[in-house]
Amino acid sequence: MRKARAGGDDEAVRQNGSSSRRRTDQHPGDGEDHDSSSGGVQDDDDDNDLGLRREIRSKYRDLINSVQQNREDMLSPSNNKLTEVLEEANKLFKDVRQAREAALDAQLLVVATDLGKEKASQLFSEGSAFDPSAFAEHLLSFMGLNRLEDEDDEPPNGCASDGYLPKDAWHRLARRAECCFRTAPSFHYMMGSFYTEPPPPKQRIERQRKAPSKEAKRIMPTQLKKMEESHQEATEKEVERILGYLKSYYQDDPSPISYYEFVIDPNSFSRTVENIFHTSFLIRDGLARLKLDSDKLPCIEPVEEEEVEAAGSFSRKQCIVSISPKIWRVRSF
């Protein structure tokens, strides 16, 4: 009932502007004898008037602030704060004489009617109303708010209550809320992408290496050259040496020699591997030939010098020879 009355007043004012209220109020206002200084008399002392004007304006501003700050409280259907505010405004309005105060009054009405509309919408919806501030309070508890024991009843700025909200508060809420979302998990490569940082350090290392090597070259050019030559020569010499052995064995006994007998050194595995390596050069260059004998064992024989040139027309076959210390131990006899 009281709400409806407040609504009725608002409607009348909204239609006709603030002047209509003055008309409706003047009748009871003349009867009441509240403020002798302003009742009907327009030309008071200037000082009093100014002071009163300021007071009225500041009261209006307070009212507007209180409505805006405590909006959620006022919306709650459990109290009549909105009606109280309107009655305050009514009282103040009786003293309003100038446009400035009337403007503030109008502003207060806009704010109050907005609130009234909100309250009305709550009335119309069926089921229980939803109060966001109650929701917020419960949420804070859920998030683990640690309320201090001596908290004020009404925080002055109308914002957060006292208490310490833990760091993982929002994480806790997010975890609980996950079940409400059907979010697709984001796709990321498991190992990520490669970093592009290595290049700069590598350049520095290269420059450092280049510097000493240049000097080294200047100091000992002749020695280096000798080293390189000896490397190449060593291989070639070995290959030729083995060819020599092969030819000499063949001269003594012109039948294919067992390959394994030829390459294996019974005393040294590494020598055996070296022999296989050098023999492969002979075969590659067509100076020796590998074939399988009647027992399907490989045997090797040198190629005649006339055959070497014609060998290019034959199709080359490749094979891979492997040997390990185990096999070598068995084989060496």
Partner 1 sequence: MTQRKRLSNVQSSSQSKRQSNSFMTQEEDEDATFTQPSTSQVQRGLEKLTAAQVDQKTAEVVQYILVKDQKKIPVRRADLVKHVIKDYRTVYPEIIKRAMLTFEQVFGLKLVEIDSKNHMYVLVNNLDASTARPSPVERPSNPKMGLLFVILSVIFMKGGVVRENLMWNTLKKLRVDPGQRHEEFGDVRKVITDEFVRQRYLEYVRVPHTEPVEYEFRWGQRSDMEVSKAQILEFMGQLLEQDPQSWTQQYREAHSTASSSQASSSNHR
144: left (phi over 0), alpha (psi -120 to 50) or beta: left
Among 12, 217, 248, residue whose Cα is nearest residue 109: 12
Tell me the C-alpha distance between 333 and 323, whole Å: 16
List, as one string, the DSSP characters of 80-108.
-HHHHHHHHHHHHHTT--SHHHHHHHHHH
195 DSSP 8-state letter: -
Contact 240, 307 (CB under 8 A): no
**If binding means CB under 8 A, how many residues of this protein chain bind partner 1?**
40
Among 130, 127, 164, residue whose Cα is nearest residue 144: 164
Burial 261-280 (b: 16+ CB within 10 A, else e): ebbbeeeebeebbbbbebbb
Backbone angles phi and psi of 288, in degrees to 5: -140, 160
> In this chain, which of 28, 127, 254, 312 binds partner 1, going by CB under 8 A?
127
> In this chain, which of 62, 84, 137, 285 binds partner 1, going by CB under 8 A?
137
Shortest distance in whole angstroms from residue 113 CB to partner 1: 14
81 binds partner 1 (CB under 8 A): no
Q: Which is nearer to partner 1, 193 or 255 (CB)?
A: 193
174 binds partner 1 (CB under 8 A): yes
> In this chain, which of 182, 204, 296, 326 binds partner 1, going by CB under 8 A?
182
> In this chain, which of 110, 139, 224, 310 binds partner 1, going by CB under 8 A?
139
128 binds partner 1 (CB under 8 A): yes
Stretch that binds partner 1, among 173-181, 280-288, 313-321, 325-333 (CB under 8 A): 173-181
Q: Which is nearer to partner 1, 140 or 303 (CB)?
A: 140
170 binds partner 1 (CB under 8 A): yes
Which 34-73 residues touch partner 1, going by CB under 8 A? 71-72
Burial 2-28 (b: 16+ CB within 10 A, else e): eeeebbebbeebeeeebeebeeeeeee
Shortest distance in whole angstroms from residue 142 CB to partner 1: 6
Q: Which is nearer to partner 1, 84 or 137 (CB)?
A: 137
110 binds partner 1 (CB under 8 A): no
156 binds partner 1 (CB under 8 A): no
325 binds partner 1 (CB under 8 A): no
Applying CB under 8 A, the residues found at the interface with partner 1 are: 71-72, 125-128, 130, 132-140, 142, 159-161, 165, 170-188
